[in-house]
């Protein structure tokens, strides 16, 4: 009889894409495995998961709102309602195991699985575990992590360092620089900076580039600038559509991340766990500007895990507008430092995370 697995979580691409990668890896091991996703209504997983070919059920759940405490009034009721619905999903689907990847829906679903004595596995992407995963870890069979020293949050005997699953197509960049240069209409020889603000965008990165773009031009450094959805219109209104010969490409989204990575000599990015896992596999020098607007400042902790290995440069968010562009130009002029950063970040890569996690999921089923 085919095994049945629920994968729960979402809220951001950093949770959803690893979840889909795990599902794909499970299907690769055994195409007969039945997989059901459980997400949060209104979040991006409700669109992205069906697009990847999987069924998803939504829970009416939200996270704790730190910026507006009044929004938390109904939270206890939503949690109870979500746990109740999760119990119903488990009763109907009869999973052999449940995987939690983080996000609002992960808590109620894993808690319901524990109540029903169904084995669970947690995939913790960050270097600093959140409250929910620390609580759920007590009864989880396995905890798959991407960073060292996670025994500070979880029982050491349950931890397996697997890395974070990434989208394989985005890191397949070998030999693509010429293609990438044609795609972006840039010079394949000229030094190029890639700026990643995420799908929605990062205000600090956009403000820093707005303030410093002329410095890049003066140094004949090309820029691929991904603004994100929230900021694209205002930035294009300021700079206009960029002519072919000015070396700057301003884009809302990057539909070909492989080309963007292939073209980059240095990458400027936030420090989300999934992004860091991709950057380790891309093996390019990176300048990280951690977002301060995340729980427990976990992006700074993610970035520091690289910095202490001399595998990345860190610029604090509050200093970015004044320092980011100058620091990046300085790095681009130091070939030895760029080579060292590339070597060190590549040493941290864990390329088969999705397959390793899939095997661990099947092992907790086999061992009961």
Our measurement of the distance from residue 328's CA atom to the centroid of its chain's CA atoms, rounded to an integer in Å, reads: 23
Region of 297 (left: φ > 0; alpha: ψ -120 to 50; beta: rest) is: left
- The answer to the question of whether 24 is labelled as a binding residue is no
Would you state the structure tokens that stand for residue 138, as one six-digit string? 């007590």
- The answer to the question of whether 249 is labelled as a binding residue is no
- The answer to the question of whether 182 is labelled as a binding residue is no
Distance of alpha carbon 61 from alpha carbon 106, whole angstroms = 10
- The answer to the question of whether 220 is labelled as a binding residue is no
Distance of alpha carbon 312 from alpha carbon 269, whole angstroms = 11
- The answer to the question of whether 367 is labelled as a binding residue is no
125 neighbors 273 (Cβ within 8 angstroms): yes
Opening angle at CA 245, ends 250 and 192, nearest 5: 60
- The answer to the question of whether 30 is labelled as a binding residue is no
| Run of H or E residues at 195 | strand 192-196
Q: 28-32 long-range contacts, Cβ below 8 Å, gap at least 24?
A: 28/355, 28/358, 29/355, 29/358, 29/359, 29/362, 30/2, 30/3, 30/362, 32/2, 32/3
- The answer to the question of whether 141 is labelled as a binding residue is no
> What is the total residue count of the chain?
368
What are the beta bridge partners of residue 196? 226, 269
Residues contributing to the annotated binding site: 12-14, 126, 167, 199, 299
Q: Which residues are annotated as a binding site for UDP-N-acetyl-alpha-D-glucosamine?
A: 12-14, 126, 167, 199, 299
């Amino acid at each position: 009889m085919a095994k049945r697995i629920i994968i729960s979580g979402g809220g951001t691409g950093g949770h959803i894409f690893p979840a889909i990668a795990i599902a794909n890896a499970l299907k690769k091991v055994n195409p007969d495995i039945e997989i059901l996703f459980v997400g949060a209504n209104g979040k991006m997983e409700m669109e992205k998961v069906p697009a990847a070919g999987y069924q998803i059920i939504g829970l009416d759940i939200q996270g704790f709102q730190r910026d507006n405490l009044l929004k938390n009034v109904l939270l206890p009721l939503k949690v109870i309602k979500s746990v109740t619905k999760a119990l119903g999903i488990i009763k109907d689907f009869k999973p052999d195991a449940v995987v939690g990847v983080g996000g609002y829906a992960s808590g109620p679903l894993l808690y319901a699985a524990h109540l029903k004595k169904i084995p669970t596995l947690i995939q913790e992407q960050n270097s600093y575990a959140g409250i929910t995963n620390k609580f759920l870890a007590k009864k989880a069979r396995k905890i798959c992590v991407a960073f060292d020293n996670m025994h500070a949050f979880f029982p050491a005997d349950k931890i397996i360092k697997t890395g974070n699953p990434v989208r394989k197509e985005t890191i397949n960049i070998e030999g693509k620089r010429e293609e990438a240069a044609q795609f972006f209409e840039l010079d394949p020889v000229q030094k190029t900076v890639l700026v990643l603000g995420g799908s929605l965008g990062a205000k600090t990165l956009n403000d820093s580039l707005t303030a410093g773009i002329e410095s890049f031009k003066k140094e004949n450094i090309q820029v691929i600038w991904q603004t994100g959805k929230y900021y694209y219109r205002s930035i294009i209104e300021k700079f206009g559509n960029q002519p072919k010969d000015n070396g700057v490409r301003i884009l809302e989204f990057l539909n070909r991340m492989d080309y963007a990575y292939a073209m980059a000599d240095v990458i400027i990015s936030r420090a989300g766990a999934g992004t860091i896992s991709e950057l380790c596999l891309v093996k390019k020098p990176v300048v990280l500007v951690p977002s301060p607007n995340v729980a427990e400042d976990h992006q700074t902790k993610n970035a520091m895990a690289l910095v202490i290995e001399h595998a990345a440069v860190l610029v604090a968010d509050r200093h970015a507008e004044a320092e980011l562009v100058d620091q990046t130009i300085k790095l681009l002029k130091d070939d030895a430092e760029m080579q060292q950063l590339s070597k060190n970040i590549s040493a941290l890569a864990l390329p088969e995370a999705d397959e390793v996690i899939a095997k661990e999921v099947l092992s907790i089923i086999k061992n009961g």
